[in-house]
């Protein structure tokens, strides 16, 4: 059985968030999962030329098809999430006729500032790229080389402007539920702490944070912590 490729955003400033997310995925997974952290120091073939963004993987996420050799399906997810369902259920939604599948959020943010004092601006297709079910084999995605990504502005990449709209499929909102921005949802399968992971003091008791802390405690079991 081939493992599910899961590329996860990693930022050293919130490293614990990455590990908690992986823990939550592993606890629910019914199939093997192959994790690839987007640690910028390990991406020697890619030079980050963008000067904006609130995290270290804001553009390297678009390397997912390249990292997968432009073959097969793969999932990208931001690291500031917790998984409450079997990640195989998300992979089972894969449609090989599409280039990407995303939750098509349409909202205005409740907060102008998010974690670490970063500005939180509204823009078209905001948060569409925080969970991506990629068709790495799709011919339209072959343009996503390191050089291409380095050259394109964030507005182009995060709006999936290299694709025709017909090549972008939709995922159920439960697979990228925005904590605080949306109402609490006990049925959410993937909770995204987009304003700030509970690992940050200002967000430690934010809405839906309990699920994150449960996964955090589970990751510490047996370590004497």
pLDDT tens-digit series, residues 30-84: 999 999 999 989 999 988 887 665 567 889 999 999 999 999 999 999 999 999 9
Bridge partners, 73 (sequence order):
135
The model's pLDDT over 171-197, given as tens digits with 9 standing for 90+, comes to 999 999 999 999 999 999 999 999 888
- First-to-last C-alpha distance (Å) of the chain: 35
CA–CA distance, 177 with 7 (Å, rounded to integer): 18
Q: What is the CATH number of domain 4-220?
A: 3.90.550.10
Structural domain boundaries in the chain? 4-220
Query: What number of helices (H) and strands (E) belong to the chain?
Result: 6, 9
The model's pLDDT over 124-169, given as tens digits with 9 standing for 90+, comes to 898 999 999 999 999 999 999 999 999 999 899 999 999 999 999 9
Picking from 39, 44, 41, the residue whose alpha carbon sits closest to that of residue 57 is 39
* Buried b / exposed e along 89-110 (16+ C-beta atoms within 10 A): ebbeebeeebbbbbbebeeebe
| Residue owning tokens 């949802």 | 185
């Amino acid at each position: 059985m081939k493992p599910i490729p899961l590329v996860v955003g990693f930022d050293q400033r919130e490293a614990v968030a990455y590990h908690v997310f992986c823990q939550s995925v592993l606890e629910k997974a019914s199939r093997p999962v192959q994790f690839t952290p987007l640690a910028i120091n390990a991406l020697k073939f890619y030079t980050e030329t963008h000067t904006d963004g609130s995290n270290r993987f804001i553009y390297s996420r678009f390397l997912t098809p390249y990292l997968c050799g432009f073959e097969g399906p793969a999932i990208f997810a931001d690291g500031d999430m917790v998984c409450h369902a079997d990640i195989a259920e998300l992979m089972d939604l894969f449609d090989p006729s599409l280039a990407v599948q995303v939750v098509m959020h349409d909202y205005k943010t409740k907060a102008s500032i998010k974690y670490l004092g970063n500005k939180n601006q509204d823009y078209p297709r905001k948060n569409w790229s925080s969970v991506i079910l990629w068709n790495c084999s799709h011919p339209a995605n072959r343009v996503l080389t390191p050089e291409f990504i380095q050259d394109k502005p964030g507005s182009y990449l995060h709006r999936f402007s290299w694709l025709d709209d017909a090549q972008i499929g939709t995922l159920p909102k439960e697979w990228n539920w925005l904590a605080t921005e949306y109402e609490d949802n006990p049925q959410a399968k993937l909770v995204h702490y987009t304003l700030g992971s509970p690992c940050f003091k200002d967000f430690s008791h934010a809405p839906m944070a309990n699920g994150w802390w449960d996964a955090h405690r589970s990751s510490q079991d047996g370590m004497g912590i």
